[in-house]
């Protein structure tokens, strides 16, 4: 009776991940990039917003040809500016800093075209503390984030400007910054939280880890899966898988964030979907290396490029980027460990049941394979095949 209950509970956990995945956008997370430069009582900057995101609220593609051209963007300049202005508030202390949108340009990021809005604001007095309230797109996409790069002039002539960065999710849409402070701990904490959030919202990463972990309490006997003998065996299997995945994605996350290696977002997202598909199929018809840590390491190199999308386009200086990268990586690891803590105890308790290989492993892997195949076709062919 207990094993049946545990298997059912494990299936609920797996199904919840699958449901969230099928309810989620299959492509790169929705982000905008906000750069603000403070000098005295003046604030200037730029705001990069994906055209595909603006199309959700403003219907930029009026002719329905699935292509947003410069003419469509230019003709809607006033609407785009008004929407952006009402979605961002800047305050110096308790005093508002009225903002105006100037020129409008187009730039290309790794995941497509972005409108670039030049902005300027004037505060009543010299800015010592800045409060930013961000509301862009939250009404249509609760997973959207604003990524902020805040610069203040160097304190000594010839020195480098002081830079901090922050992430604005819907649940933390208003944040304050003291400009004469390094805000090191706050910046580190922001990216630790965002790393955890990235795993929680990164449904392709979740499904990849679930596909890797489900057979971690089993061993291959020929082409069959049989239960591991004891918890120690399962523990070492999981430890090697998680460690290999961590090392691999940390390598490519760092390389991509530091602009040493950059790959197109469409290619990265397609390869991530392919890695989930291959891992799920291997659970049904083994064809990958028997050492699962090798699979985790190889595919982890691909997933690292996906994680880097959070930091790469902010163009942070190395001093700020290293801190953000460190915090984000810690958050990702915390998210992974939470997932391991949810899946592995349930899987271990039910590993000896005849239903586990057939029900939790085989059926779960079939569903994961089906979802990832849909993602792969969408991402590689730029199609919309599924309503998620």
What are the tens digits of pLDDT across the range 242-275?
999 999 999 998 898 888 888 888 899 899 999 9
Higher pLDDT, 146 or 3: 146
Whole-prediction pTM value?
0.76
CA distances from 337 to 12, 14, 29, 193, 327 (A): 19, 16, 22, 14, 16
pLDDT-derived band at 337 (thresholds 50, 70, 90) equals very high
Report the C-alpha gap between 48 and 371 in whole angstroms: 31
pLDDT(135) > 90: yes
- Total H helices, total E strands in the chain: 12, 12
Q: Which residues contact 195 (CB under 8 A, 6 or more apart)?
A: 327, 328, 329, 330, 331, 332, 333, 334, 335
Name the DSSP letter for residue 359: I
- 309-325 average pLDDT score: 75
Report the C-alpha gap between 176 and 132 in whole angstroms: 6
Indicate the domain borders of the chain. Answer: 2-27+202-381, 32-182
- Predicted pLDDT of residue 278: 96
Report the C-alpha gap between 225 and 40 in whole angstroms: 67
């Amino acid at each position: 009776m207990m094993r049946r209950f545990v298997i059912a509970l494990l299936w609920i956990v797996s199904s919840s991940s699958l449901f969230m995945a099928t309810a989620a956008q299959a492509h790169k997370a929705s982000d905008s990039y906000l750069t603000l430069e403070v000098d005295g009582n003046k604030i200037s900057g730029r705001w990069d917003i994906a055209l595909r995101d603006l199309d959700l609220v403003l219907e930029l593609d009026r002719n329905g040809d699935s292509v947003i051209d410069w003419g469509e963007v230019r003709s809607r300049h006033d609407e785009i500016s008004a929407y952006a202005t009402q979605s961002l508030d800047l305050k110096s202390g308790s005093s508002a800093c009225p903002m105006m949108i100037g020129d409008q340009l187009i730039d290309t990021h790794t995941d497509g075209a972005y409108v670039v809005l030049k902005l300027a604001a004037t505060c009543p007095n010299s800015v010592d503390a800045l409060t930013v309230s961000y509301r862009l797109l939250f009404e249509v996409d609760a997973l959207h984030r604003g990524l902020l790069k805040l610069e203040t002039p160097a304190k000594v002539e010839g020195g480098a400007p002081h830079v901090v960065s922050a992430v604005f999710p819907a649940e933390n849409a208003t944040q304050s910054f003291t400009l004469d402070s390094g805000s090191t701990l706050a910046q580190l904490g922001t990216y630790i939280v965002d790393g955890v959030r990235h795993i929680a919202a990164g449904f392709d990463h979740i499904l990849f880890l679930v596909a890797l972990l489900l057979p971690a309490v089993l061993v291959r006997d020929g082409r069959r899966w049989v239960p591991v003998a004891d918890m120690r065996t399962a523990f070492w299997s999981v430890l090697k898988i998680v460690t290999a995945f961590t090392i691999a994605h940390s390598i490519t996350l760092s390389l991509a964030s530091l602009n040493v290696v950059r790959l197109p977002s469409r290619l990265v997202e397609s390869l991530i979907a392919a890695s989930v598909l291959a891992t799920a199929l291997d659970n049904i018809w083994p064809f990958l290396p028997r050492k699962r840590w090798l699979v985790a390491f190889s595919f982890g190199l691909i997933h690292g490029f996906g994680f880097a999308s959070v930091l790469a386009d902010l163009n942070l200086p190395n001093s700020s980027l290293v801190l953000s990268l460190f915090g984000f990586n810690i958050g990702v690891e915390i998210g992974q460990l939470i997932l391991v803590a949810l899946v592995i105890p349930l899987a271990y308790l039910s590993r000896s049941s005849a239903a586990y290989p057939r029900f939790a492993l085989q059926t779960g892997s079939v569903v994961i394979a089906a979802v990832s195949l849909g993602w792969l076709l969408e991402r590689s062919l730029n199609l919309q095949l599924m309503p998620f």
